[in-house]
Amino acid sequence: MRFTLIFFAFIISLNSVKAQDYFLENNGPYDNTILSPEQYLGYEIGFEHTRHDLIVAYLKYLGNISDKAQIIKYGETHEGRDLIMLTVSTTENLNNLENIKNEHLKHTVPWYQNKN
């Protein structure tokens, strides 16, 4: 039994994962005219707590500055904070978003097919 535990502990230790760099660092190209979260907020993500209003402000900034992002307010919290959704896609898809949603619903929601 002891040998089995040591053996499994050894096997598990072989599968340890190396820590990776920030996942978007080298995957470009990026639009350099759009501020990164660090540039917008003034600190590196993860080093300070980011308040809800700052996150919403940055997402609204992205929605306003880029033609590949669209911001939609879908509600408010009990405290009156905006609940928003940022959709990022090609300009063509954003212009056709309602048709894409309806087409998706046809394949996922059985009762929706009878609605149209």
Q: What is the pLDDT of residues 34-50, one digit of tens each?
A: 999 999 999 988 889 99
- Separation of alpha carbons 97 and 75, rounded Å: 19
Mean pLDDT over each residue of the chain, to the nearest integer? 84
Below-50 pLDDT ranges, the chain: none
Query: Domain-by-domain residue ranges, the chain?
Result: 29-115
The pTM assigned to this predicted structure is 0.67
pLDDT recorded at residue 26 = 67
- Separation of alpha carbons 35 and 69, rounded Å: 14
